[in-house]
């Protein structure tokens, strides 16, 4: 059995909102922070393709336990697409597989087709992606020259805006459900228009509940280590949309033992306590203790522990 990595004195607990640069992978950005700032326990909530820039939520220390709850929210992107060119990866970093004329299309035709994204409920997963088939990522199958199975997934498109149209280029903003591939939206648009299309630029403006206005550039983060702790959003504030219930010492001890607490005995300001509602539980000094969800049992409603944070 391997040894667990000893926690270093520099390890932070919380969320760093990173403004990812174009070029490196999300994992590459994490490795840079890990090495430069001695962050042995590090992860992220929602990857970005190498070409993409913008909000990447970097999870540090106990903050890595928040991943499932930070990846599930909607995300907003600003992107640019180019008509007339199709690639194997659905973006400008792939190999060109077809070029077709687009001059039969008017700007109004194209803008209407982009706005039609709001009606989509499923999409094909790009063949060059980290999605897996029988344990192997699709990009590995594609690079090995093997057949890549077509995978579809359910999506929700909350809002679409066309920002600028100068054919063959179109700039747009789109807010989507977690896991939606914007380059697949662009690829499907090209199919519907009959000319093909690829994604040429993408910036994630918001990964709920954090936005670019809270983000820090990678060079600034690693180049100013003395400012790093102040850039990290502490656990207590890492889920600002979750109400906080402060417990008594006795209640905190019960939670550490996995006990369900009656909602009425541990109210959270801003929470109704209705079944399905989720809150953060904190010990008497305000230190986050656990994430919990209200559930019915034996005719009463209790806080059921979703994830311990101690």
Catalytic center residues: 49
Q: Is 74 helix (H, G, I), strand (E, B) or coil?
A: coil
SS3 97: strand
To 10 degrees, what angle do helices 182-193 and 107-115 make? 130
Owner of token pair 């700007």: 107
Q: How far is CA 144 from CA 139, 219, 236, in A?
A: 9, 35, 45
Tell me the Ramachandran region of residue 295: left when phi exceeds 0, alpha when psi lies from -120 to 50, beta otherwise: beta
Q: Which residue has the tokens 């990812």?
A: 20
78 and 102 Cβ atoms separated by less than 8 Å: no
Q: Is 275 helix (H, G, I), strand (E, B) or coil?
A: coil
Distinct helix (H) and strand (E) counts, the chain:
8, 21
């Amino acid at each position: 059995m391997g040894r667990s990595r000893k926690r270093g004195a520099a390890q932070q607990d919380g969320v760093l909102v990173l403004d990812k640069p174009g070029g490196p992978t999300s994992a590459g950005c994490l490795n840079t922070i890990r090495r430069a700032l001695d962050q042995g326990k590090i992860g992220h909530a929602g990857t970005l393709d190498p070409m993409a820039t913008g909000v990447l939520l970097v999870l540090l220390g106990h903050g890595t336990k928040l991943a499932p709850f930070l990846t599930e929210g909607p995300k907003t992107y600003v992107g640019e697409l180019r008509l007339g060119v199709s690639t194997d990866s659905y973006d400008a970093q792939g190999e060109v597989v077809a070029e077709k004329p687009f001059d039969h299309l008017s700007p109004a035709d194209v803008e209407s087709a982009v706005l039609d994204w709001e009606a989509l409920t499923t999409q094909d997963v790009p063949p060059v992606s980290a999605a897996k088939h029988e344990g192997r990522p699709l990009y590995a199958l594609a690079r090995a020259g093997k057949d890549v199975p077509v995978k579809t997934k359910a999506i929700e498109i909350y809002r679409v805006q066309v920002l600028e149209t100068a054919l063959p280029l179109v700039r747009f903003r789109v807010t989507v459900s977690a896991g939606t591939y914007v380059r697949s939206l662009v690829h499907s648009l090209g199919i519907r228009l009959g000319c093909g299309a690829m994604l040429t630029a993408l910036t994630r403006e918001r990964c709920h509940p954090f936005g670019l206005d809270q983000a820090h550039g990678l060079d600034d983060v690693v180049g100013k280590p003395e400012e790093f702790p102040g850039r990290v959003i502490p656990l207590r504030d890492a889920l600002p949309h979750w109400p906080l219930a402060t417990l008594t010492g006795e209640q905190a001890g019960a939670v550490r033992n996995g006990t369900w607490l009656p909602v009425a005995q541990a109210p959270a300001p801003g929470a109704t306590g209705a079944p399905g509602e989720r809150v953060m539980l904190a010990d008497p000094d305000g230190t986050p203790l656990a994430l919990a969800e209200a559930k019915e049992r034996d005719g009463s409603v209790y806080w059921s522990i979703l994830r311990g944070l101690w």
